[in-house]
Amino acid sequence: MNKDILENPKNVKFIDLLALCDKYFGKPRISGSHHIFKTPWKGDPRINIQKDGKMAKPYQVRMVQKAILKMEALDNEN
């Protein structure tokens, strides 16, 4: 799964965003329709995604993008 899907937050299928989050953050805890991922930091950006039909919600796509950038920055420090 390529993170290029994040370039257009309004056109991301939920299943693609879920697969990308699985790759970076592991399996989610599911609470109702929410898929909640653990991150190695406290606070924002948090990853809590849910479907909007077959698509991901654009603001949640942007949140995942910020989290991936933060994760990559942490990996580069180590």
Domain residues of the chain, as ranges? 3-77
pLDDT of residue 2: 67
Task: State the amino acid at position 77 in one-letter form.
Answer: E
How many other β-carbons are positioned within 10 Å of the β-carbon of residue 39?
17
pLDDT (tens, 9 = 90+) of the chain, 78 residues, equals 567 777 888 899 999 999 999 999 999 999 999 999 999 999 999 999 999 999 999 999 999 999 999 999 988 887
pLDDT of residue 8: 86
pLDDT of residue 1: 53
For 26, phi and psi rounded to 5 degrees? Answer: 85, -170
DSSP sequence for 17-47: HHHHHHHHH-SPEEETTEEEE--SSSSSSPE
